[in-house]
Amino acid sequence: MFQRSPAEMRIVILAPIGRDAALLASTLTASGIAVATATDADALLPLLIEGVGGTIIADEALRSSAIQTLAAWIADLPPWSDPPFIVLTSNGLPTRQTNQRAQEFQALGNLTLLERPVRPDTVRLAARSALRARMRQYEVRNSQEALLEANADLEQFAHSASHDLREPLRTIAAASHMLAREFPHDTSERAVELLRLIRGSVERMDGLLADLLAYAHASSIVEEQLPAVPARRSVDSALMNLAEAIRESGAIITIGELPTIMVRESHLAQVFQNLLGNAIKYRRSDQNPIVELLAQEAEGYWIFTVIDNGIGIPGAYYEAVFGIFKRLHSHDQFSGTGMGLAICKRIVERYRGRIWVESDPGQGSRFSFSIPASAGKQED
């Protein structure tokens, strides 16, 4: 599936025209290693961009400015890529100048220095070891790409599955409404009850499919470069979606000062909506929900905490509630799919954060999640 191109398996040699270059090339080709040669740095860069297993450089062919160009190319490579360089230094005792050159070469990163004169065997061994290291990097790349592809496939699958499955559900819902409308006088009490059951099940199934879709979206790839968003904006969109539940329950919600962080806004809104929604839903029968959302910075993370005065969670279930379809109550007590916290966990972990709960059963719960703060900043 992920073939390495021939260019990725070869050794590129940078050496001025002459005996050295020819000797290096023939030494390697004689032992079955593919080779491409460049006589100056300008010709080298396009070869590296095309693909490279390892690079051998005769140091007289590389000026300081060219090293900087190469270092800039290396800095832009993806994390899996660390192309090996073998530099053949001039022989003789190290002088201040050669020491300085050696330091400049450090900018190349994955560097082996070989002092000339170099025996052909040494060159061959160094080239083989560079190629081996590079092959391991390609394996990492391939498994990362396979993982990304599998994730994208899964998301696509969940998307079409939940979309396609909701279609017949809509027909069932419509048909049950039509039945009730078209035969209003024929419907016995039992038939009304059965129709109510059908509609209830359809609604639940619809909710489950919607949550499965949200779960698949939660695992979608996070762009490398995310804009900084004020967490307050995500909270506001969550509160808007919860407006009806807030009004019905008479919930009092207090939002503390929140930071700006680098996450996808819709992801953060989804987490807040699930946590605030649960804080309202799992309320005690004798009290209106009182909910507080706070953020504080600790050890390089922003920690958001949603505190409620609801029914609480027994300690034995602190982990379990984050599992897929895990619920502590029957559907008659509290509606829900058991996916909300699993979605939160999935999202938070995508950003290398953590989510957890503490509770005084019967008194309330505190759900906290962390997001790395390094990329974020405090809102004014």
Residues near ligand ADP, by CB under 6 A = 274, 278-279, 282, 308, 310-313, 321, 326-329, 336-342, 365
**Helix H or strand E segment including 68:** helix 64-75
Residue 312 or 353: which CB sits closer to ligand ADP? 312
Residue 8 or 308: which CB sits closer to ligand ADP? 308
Helix ranges (H only) for 85-226 are 96-105, 120-182, 189-218
Whose CA is closest to 281, among 331, 213, 356?
331
**Cα 377 to chain center, whole Å?**
20
We find the least distance from the C-beta atom of residue 284 to ligand ADP, in angstroms, to be: 10
Whose CA is closest to 205, among 249, 237, 167?
167
Cis peptide before 117 (omega within 30 of 0): yes
Residue 216 or 229: which CB sits closer to ligand ADP? 216
**Helix H or strand E segment including 301:** strand 301-307
We find the least distance from the C-beta atom of residue 227 to ligand ADP, in angstroms, to be: 28
Cis peptide before 361 (omega within 30 of 0): no
We find the least distance from the C-beta atom of residue 290 to ligand ADP, in angstroms, to be: 12
Whose CA is closest to 195, among 182, 206, 207, 208?
182
Strand, coil or helix: 85:
strand
| CA gap 31, 127 in Å, rounded | 11
Tokens 């900043």 belong to 377
Residue 35 or 239: which CB sits closer to ligand ADP? 239
We find the least distance from the C-beta atom of residue 274 to ligand ADP, in angstroms, to be: 6
We find the least distance from the C-beta atom of residue 301 to ligand ADP, in angstroms, to be: 22
Residue 139 or 203: which CB sits closer to ligand ADP? 203
We find the least distance from the C-beta atom of residue 195 to ligand ADP, in angstroms, to be: 25
We find the least distance from the C-beta atom of residue 329 to ligand ADP, in angstroms, to be: 5
Asked if 369 and 267 count as a contact pair (C-beta separation under 8 A), the reply is: no
Asked if 267 and 350 count as a contact pair (C-beta separation under 8 A), the reply is: yes
Residue 101 or 281: which CB sits closer to ligand ADP? 281
Residue 84 or 312: which CB sits closer to ligand ADP? 312
- In one letter, which amino acid is 173? A
